[in-house]
């Protein structure tokens, strides 16, 4: 009985660790938008330069995700996660001393690298430790990831205003990273290196289904990266204060967190596409509203858009894990999907900055993301559960997915 209680306590502690790690993966990005004007004024970064503070981390999230299968097999998911949390602590603290634009971009690169490695190995931990509750635990992970985005968007301008320093408004994020580091070191399971390495990135890239999943993941999260980069500056152009525009971004992120938690629990059937299409419809409505009626009901549009983005992120991760029964293989697929996906995700904030420079408005950027949502809705038609085994079969690489 005592060992049973001990085991239950260990599982609860591991769930808390999952939540706390997820909480640290987005604040360093979402805190930028509300403070963009101050950062630009003191570092000399223009709109395209500010976009690099989102583009560079997202690009690195994609690049390093391809190393997920290697990291899991050679270093171990636990060690990789702990080392990455150390990087998050260091990167956040260094923002106190960033004197110019390129130093800020350097801290963004450091933080993006740490997040990239965690995202590459963490879904494999979830599938291995909670094999019968993958949807629920991935929903928790996704929800806290989005919740961390809300925390960064709301806390960064408030702390910056209270302290008179946007650098402190960003550097405080080292504190929750330290807490996550301590808990992860205590609760994450020991690495079993070399027992089963899972599929390699190259073997996965020979399957057309993997490319389809990468494109869908990348286009949807391109909408997310655009929103976290430009939603607050968009409403600053309408005269909103840093705190108010940051609050709007935080509300959007809270809606993300709620749907990321709830929708995986509702999407119990093997075919999760109807729920994915629901989230894509919400995104489409949100982007259309930002483009055509931004001042009518901004809180409603932000919540609708956030709900679509959060639910779609969580369900996309679960659909990838559904494709393969083995945790190591599924974790490798998730890492590769994120790798290619985040390489795509990195580009939209910069493209939107260029469109703003050409047109003088963010409307073209919102419409660009509306088109991306429509493309993803069509592509997901091919992702039927009955075809998972065939799509991932090593005997049929690069067939139509």
Residue 394's pLDDT band, with cuts at 50, 70 and 90, is low
Check whether 5 has a pLDDT greater than 60.
no
pLDDT confidence of residue 4: 52
Write a three-state SS string for the chain.
CHHHHHHHHHHHHHHHHHHHHHHCCCHHHHCCHHHHHHHHHHHCCCHHHHHHHHHHHHHHHHHHHCCHHHHHHHHCHHHHHHHHHHHHHHHHHHHHHCCCHHHHHHHHHHHHHHHHHHHHHHHHHHHHHCCCCHHHHHHHHHHHHHHHHHHHHHHHHHHHHHHCCHHHHHHCCHHHHHHHHHHHHHHCCCCCCCCCCCCCHHHHCCCHHHHHHHHHHHHHHHHHHHHHHHHHHHHHCCCCCHHHHHHHHHHHHHHHHHHHHHHHHHCCCCCCHHHHHHHHHHHHHHHHHHHHCCCCCHHHHHHHHHHHHHHHHHHHHHHHHHCCCCHHHHHHHHHHHHHHHHHHHCHHHHHHHHHHHHHCCCHHHHHHHHHHHHHHHHHHHHCCHHHHHHHCCCCCCCCCC
Q: Which one is predicted more confidently, 214 or 55?
A: 214
Q: What is the pLDDT of residues 326-347, one digit of tens each?
A: 877 887 888 889 888 988 988 8
- Across 340-368, average pLDDT: 91
Q: What is the pLDDT of residues 189-241, one digit of tens each?
A: 876 655 555 577 788 888 889 999 999 999 999 998 899 888 988 998 888 88
- Across 82-108, average pLDDT: 93
Check whether 1 has a pLDDT greater than 50.
no
Each domain of the chain, given as residue ranges in start order, spans 2-188+198-391
pLDDT confidence of residue 51: 83
- Across 355-382, average pLDDT: 94
Residue 3's pLDDT band, with cuts at 50, 70 and 90, is low
CATH architecture, domain defined by 2-188+198-391: Up-down Bundle (1.20)
Q: Which of 65-74, 280-289, 305-314, 340-349 has the lowest mean pLDDT?
A: 65-74
């Amino acid at each position: 009985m005592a060992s049973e209680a001990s085991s239950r306590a260990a599982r609860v502690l591991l769930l808390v660790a999952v939540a706390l790690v997820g909480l640290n993966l987005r604040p360093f990005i979402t805190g930028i938008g509300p403070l963009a004007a101050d950062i630009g004024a003191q570092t000399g970064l223009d709109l395209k330069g500010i976009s690099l503070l989102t583009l560079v981390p997202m690009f690195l999230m994609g690049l390093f995700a391809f190393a997920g299968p290697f990291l899991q097999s050679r270093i171990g998911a636990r060690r990789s996660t702990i080392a990455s949390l150390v990087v998050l602590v260091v990167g956040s603290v260094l923002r106190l001393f960033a004197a110019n634009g390129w130093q800020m971009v350097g801290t963004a690169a450091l933080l993006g690298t740490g997040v990239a490695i965690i995202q590459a190995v963490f879904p494999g931990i979830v599938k291995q430790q909670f094999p019968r509750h993958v949807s629920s635990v991935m929903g928790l992970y996704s929800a806290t990831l989005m919740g961390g985005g809300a925390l960064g968007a709301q806390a960064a301008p408030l702390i910056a205003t209270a302290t008179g320093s946007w650098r402190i408004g960003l550097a405080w994020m080292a504190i929750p990273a330290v807490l996550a580091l301590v808990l992860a070191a205590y609760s994450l399971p020991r690495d079993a290196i070399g027992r089963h390495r899972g599929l390699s990135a190259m073997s996965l890239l020979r399957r057309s289904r993997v490319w389809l999943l990468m494109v869908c993941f990348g286009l949807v999260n391109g909408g997310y990266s655009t929103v976290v980069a430009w939603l607050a500056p968009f409403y600053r152009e309408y005269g909103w204060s840093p705190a108010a525009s940051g609050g709007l971004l935080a509300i959007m992120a809270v809606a993300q967190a709620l749907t990321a938690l709830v929708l995986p629990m509702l999407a119990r059937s093997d075919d999760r596409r109807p729920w994915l299409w629901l989230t894509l419809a919400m995104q489409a409505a949100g982007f259309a509203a930002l483009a055509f009626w931004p001042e009518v009901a901004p809180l409603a549009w932000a919540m609708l858009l956030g709900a679509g983005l959060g639910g779609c992120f969580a369900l996309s991760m679960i659909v990838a894990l559904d494709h393969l029964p083995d945790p190591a293989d599924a974790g490798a697929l998730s890492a590769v999907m994120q790798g290619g996906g985040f390489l795509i995700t990195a580009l939209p904030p910069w493209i939107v900055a260029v469109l703003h420079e050409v047109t003088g408005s963010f409307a073209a950027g919102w419409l660009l993301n509306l088109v991306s949502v429509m493309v993803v809705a069509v592509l997901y038609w091919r992702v039927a559960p009955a075809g998972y085994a065939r799509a991932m079969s090593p005997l049929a690489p690069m067939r139509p997915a």
